A and B are shown apart, each in its own frame.
Chain A
Amino acid sequence: MTATNAIPSKPSALRKVGGKLAGLVLPGWSALVIMFLFTPIFFLVAMSFNDFKTIFVWTKFSTHWWGDMWDNTTMIDALITSIEVAVISTIIALILGTLAGLALARKPGRWTTGFVALVLLILVTPEIVDGAGQLSWFVKLEGPFREGLTPIVLVHTVFSSAVVTLIVRARVAGLDARLEEAAADLFATPIRGFFQITLPLVMPAVLSGGMLAFTLSLDNVVATSFVSPAGTTTFPNYVFGLSGGVIRPEVAAMSTVFIVGTLIAIVAVAMVLRRGGQSGTEIATTFTGN
């Protein structure tokens, strides 16, 4: 039997050079992109050390804004509101999302396609449409939907729980269903089976989902700007509202605190997940919602 396929020839010189270039171009490009991504953040943090009263013009180095920022009670309130809203909406999102994710993974049926379509629709719809609609709806409903933290929390939970649903579904689908069956076979009630078997096994997904929900809530600006009652505001919306006037370096300083705080929270969750046995890439995949 003769081989009709030619044995691939050795790579030509051009190929070799091409290979070397590729070896340089790809890492080089990636490094450039990473630097590009970090540059504005660096500028923001740097401006917190500006002496002048606006972050847009540098005069000289000073740290006094880092002390002064604690005097800006409106800003501190906004920060506290942000955190409160994030915590509450994360809890709600986790409950809703975990239950839904479980149902999707364990009890698929005709309802699955419709529900998943709804969830995807939520994830994909531009926030401006959500926010505008939610505002009109809340204005119609009046009452508690126009006061305090309620409207903001409600609005944040929608997107967050959709994200958690998909994360939990992905994780649960990867679990061995027989474990839960075994629990049932051993006469565990569904509730007991849930709390003792399922929940601990989904815990990594719940943690990542919770983390993501938390950051998404902190990050939310558009929908919040539509529905928040006039006297209540979250930190990003506070900064957004300043955009007409002067933005003092104390805002940049608080922003730095905000950014660093978020990162610490993420690292903490990542470390917990790591100890739970997840690999770095797994964690990254879930964190970015894929």
Chain B
Amino acid sequence: MTATIGATAGPPPQKFRLRAPKFALAIPSIIWYVFLFVVPVVLVLVNSFGTKVAGTPGKVDLSSPTLERYREVIDGSFRTVLKQTMETSILGTVLCLVISLPVAYFLAFKVGPKAKVAVLALLMVPFFTNYLLRTLAWKIVLQPKGFVSNFLQDSHWFTLGQTLRDGPIQVLDSRTAVQLAIVYNYLPLMIFPLWVALDRVELHLREASKDLGAGRIRTFLQVTMPLAMPGIVAGLVLVFVPLSGDYVTAKLLGGVKGNMIGAAVAEQYFNAQNAASGSAIAVSLIISILLVLAVVAGVAWFAKRLLAINRNVKVPAR
């Protein structure tokens, strides 16, 4: 008796084997990224050693490479802007973390599945609202003669004829405005990775912790957080780095006092027609970011070792 499978007659066709390298499918991407990312970034680095070509914007004279541009950054006025930018971005990242953590915790652990979807949907609205428009919206909110300002000055709303403010709020065109709007803009970018990281902490681990007598705070600090740490760190980096290079918020809301290094780079490119200087500032920004990250990583590693040394694990006698 013969078992017939299929209707084909004759020998089966060859199995197809492609002799292509493993990353074959990624080749288009690689070429694309090299062309549109690696080369431009390298070009920025290269240009930073050049000199401005007088009268011709965008072009850089590389005939005699020089560190002049960097000296200008270190000695000149850009140093203050750089320092200010790093201050704003570190503070901004920390604020984002502090504000987001309770929300992420709430979302991950305290909300039922149906409500979770609803809250997530709500949170996604600002996340997907255009960044520029959100920043513009802040300009409306912070207007000295705007609704919020008038409200705070209106004695009808507050008791005893006292108002919260004597004069219009003058928050616009200042570092405060930029700090505020930056935290606002990057908040969704922090909430989601935190939520995902916390969400991935398995329930039974936390339950086990509770079963062993740890209170909710102790569970959080000693079980949940350490387990979620990789995701939290990812979120922090994901917020800190782009935030440091922010251009739009500073330009719209910062005025002169709230300037950030991103805006300074753009200005060098567009107003001063000095691409060399702009490149040097951009590279300085990257270096600063890396420095901060290195310092934080170093501190964290050191702290971890300290805590590990202090923790005496005693095996209970049986």
Contact = CB atoms under 8 A, between A and B. Distances in A.
Q: Do A and B touch (CB < 8 Å)? A: yes
Given A236-B133, A240-B132, A240-B248, A280 B141 contact: no
Interface stretch (B123-131, B159-167, B299-307): B123-131
B196 interface: yes
A264 to B, nearest CB: 11
Given A8-B213, A37-B187, A158-B37, A262 B130 contact: yes
Given A40-B134, A115-B30, A215-B128, A187 B15 contact: yes
A136 B280 CA distance: 13
B241 interface: yes
A283 to B, nearest CB: 8
Contact of A259 (B39, B129, B141, B215): B129
A72 interface: no
A225 B269 CA distance: 11
Contacts of A177: none
A207 B135 CA distance: 28
Given A284-B117, A284-B124, A288-B127, A139 B248 contact: no
Nearest to B245: A126
B130 A133 contact: no
Given A30-B107, A103-B22, A285-B196, A132 B33 contact: no
A171 B137 CA distance: 36
A109 B28 contact: no
A100 B29 contact: yes
Contacts of A161: 29, 32
B29 A43 contact: no
Contact of A4 (B192, B252, B316): B316
Contact of B119 (A30, A122, A218): A30
Contact of A44 (B106, B140, B216, B238): B140
Contacts, number: 288
A4 B316 CA distance: 8
A263 B122 CA distance: 11
Contact of B316 (A5, A158, A247): A5
Contacts of A290: 192-193, 196
Interface residues of A, number: 101
Contacts of B134: 40-41, 44
B40 A99 contact: no
Contact of A96 (B23, B29, B113, B147): B29
B116 A281 contact: yes
A126 B28 contact: no
Given A44-B133, A123-B238, 7 more contacts: A38-B125, A56-B145, A161-B32, A258-B130, A259-B129, A263-B125, A290-B193
29 contacts: A8-B213, A22-B216, A26-B102, A30-B103, A37-B123, A57-B143, A58-B147, A97-B29, A99-B29, A109-B23, A111-B22, A111-B23, A124-B242, A126-B245, A128-B245, A132-B40, A132-B282, A133-B282, A136-B275, A137-B39, A161-B32, A226-B266, A240-B132, A243-B252, A262-B130, A266-B128, A284-B117, A284-B121, A288-B196
Interface of A: 4-6, 8, 15, 18-19, 22, 25-27, 29-30, 33-34, 36-41, 43-44, 47, 55-58, 95-97, 99-100, 102-104, 107-109, 111, 115, 118-119, 121-130, 132-137, 139-140, 154-155, 157-158, 161-162, 165, 184-185, 187, 189-190, 215, 218-219, 221-222, 225-226, 236-237, 239-240, 243, 247, 255, 258-259, 262-263, 266, 279-281, 284-285, 287-290
Interface of B: 12-13, 15-16, 18, 22-26, 28-30, 32-33, 36-44, 47, 58-60, 99-100, 102-103, 105-107, 110, 113, 116-117, 119-134, 136-141, 143, 145-147, 184, 187-188, 191-193, 196, 199, 211-213, 215-216, 237-238, 241-242, 244-248, 251-252, 262, 265-266, 269, 275, 278-279, 282, 285-286, 289, 316-317
